[in-house]
Amino acid sequence: GENVEQHPSTLSVQEGDSAVIKCTYSDSASNYFPWYKQELGKRPQLIIDIRSNVGEKKDQRIAVTLNKTAKHFSLHITETQPEDSAVYFCAASLRGNNRLAFGKGNQVVVIP
């Protein structure tokens, strides 16, 4: 089955700097790659996603890049702010049906 791994597991950045989280996946049939943000005690919320027919997608300070050949995709957050502090989960679609496999999450701490 699909195996999704995230690196690093924790990331601390100074406010205003950029943060990058990388995910790798194993199933070449995966074609949808979302990123979810989960603040402490709250539900996961979709922040950006990308499908396999594009290599990059940007939404204000957030971008996602996809390398299908290498089977990895990355979340880029620019000009980080304290409210960006959260756990970020990547996910990849599973072959054949409507399911996602999640990575273990990455704790991002933005230091004011």
Partner 1 sequence: DAMVIQNPRYQVTQFGKPVTLSCSQTLNHNVMYWYQQKSSQAPKLLFHYYDKDFNNEADTPDNFQSRRPNTSFCFLDIRSPGLGDAAMYLCATSRVPGSGANVLTFGAGSRLTVL
Site residues, partner 1 (CB under 8 A): 4, 32, 34, 36, 42-46, 49, 89, 93, 97-105
The residue count for the chain: 112
b/e for 15-26, b at 16 or more Cβ within 10 A? eeeebebbbbbe
Strand partners, 12: 109
Residue 79 CB, shortest distance to partner 1, in Å, is 26
Residue 6 CB, shortest distance to partner 1, in Å, is 9
Structure-token pair, residue 1: 């089955």
Residue 93 CB, shortest distance to partner 1, in Å, is 5
Structure-token pair, residue 44: 């996961």
Nearer to partner 1, 58 or 99 (CB): 99
Nearer to partner 1, 62 or 78 (CB): 62
